[in-house]
Amino acid sequence: MRRFFNQDNAFFRFMGVLFDLIELNLITLVFCIPIVTAGAAFTAMHYVLWHMVRKEDSYIAMQFWQSFKANWKKATVIWLLVLAVGLVMAGDVYALGGLSRSGQVLMEVVMVVIALATVSVAEYSFFLLSRYENTVLHTLANAGRLALGFLPRTLAMVAITVACALLYVTYVVYLLPVVLLVGISLPQYCCAWLYNPIFKRLEGNGQKA
């Protein structure tokens, strides 16, 4: 019994992480409501997640707000670029009906590649903004290099992000409580465990992303 109530018990550690993720998810959702601030919210979320996966002291609300204020301009520029790509691709969907079958297949392949590339670069960009001071162009360039240089981890992160998004959209009625509690923070927490070794390696080699 004494071991069960020990604060270092695996159960209490798990519950601590879970409650942190719930708090982080709720804060992120609130800051995403204006839509245009979503990029800064994602960046701030990853700043907190970085501390969590490295088992550093994490003060969810304070660290989130600190990062949000520091990075909202650059994060918003990147987020608007992502939205612009999304709008262009949405327009291309309507154009598919006027193409031949082979043209449609080719266009769909191109759109999938562009979508995956956009998600990959956006993910790394928000990770980088949360920790490193750089211009938007350099951040995007570094994000592209990391996405290609660590392709297996990149594909795993994209798979987690896209799979969860599709799952939420398909079963939104049933999964709404999950989305509200950990729908954003939990998948990205998994991604944080994937990208953390990348930056540990870069920092260990004295390189800056």
Task: Please check the confidence at residue 13 and state whether its pLDDT lies above 60.
Answer: yes
Percent of the chain at pLDDT > 90 equals 67
Q: 162 is written with which tokens? A: 């896209």
**Angstrom distances, CA of residue 116 to CA of 82, 135, 144, 161:** 12, 23, 12, 11
- pLDDT band for position 207 (50/70/90)? low
Task: Please check the confidence at residue 45 and state whether its pLDDT lies above 60.
Answer: yes
Mean pLDDT on 114-118: 91
Look over the chain and give the mean of its residue pLDDT values, rounded to a whole number. Answer: 88
Integer Cα distance of 195 and 169 in angstroms: 26
Mean pLDDT on 138-163: 95
Segment among 75-79, 98-102, 176-180 with least mean pLDDT: 98-102
Integer Cα distance of 203 and 165 in angstroms: 31
CA 130 to chain centre: 11
The reported pLDDT for the residue numbered 55 is: 86
Integer Cα distance of 102 and 116 in angstroms: 21
- pLDDT band for position 158 (50/70/90)? very high
Task: Please check the confidence at residue 182 and state whether its pLDDT lies above 90.
Answer: yes
Percent of the chain at pLDDT > 70 equals 90
Amino acid at 94: Y
Between 26 and 12, name the one with better pLDDT.
Answer: 26
Element counts in the chain: helices (H) and strands (E):
8, 0
What residues contact residue 44 under an 8 Å CB cut-off, 6+ apart?
28, 31, 63, 64, 65, 66, 67, 68, 71, 130
Mean pLDDT on 138-143: 96
Task: Please check the confidence at residue 161 and state whether its pLDDT lies above 60.
Answer: yes
Domain map (residue ranges) of the chain: 10-204
| Torsion-angle region of 132 (φ positive above 0: left; ψ -120 to 50: alpha; else: beta) | beta
Which residue matches tokens 């920790």? 131
Task: Compute how many other C-beta atoms are within 10 angstroms of the C-beta atom of residue 5.
Answer: 9
Q: What is the DSSP letter of 62?
A: H
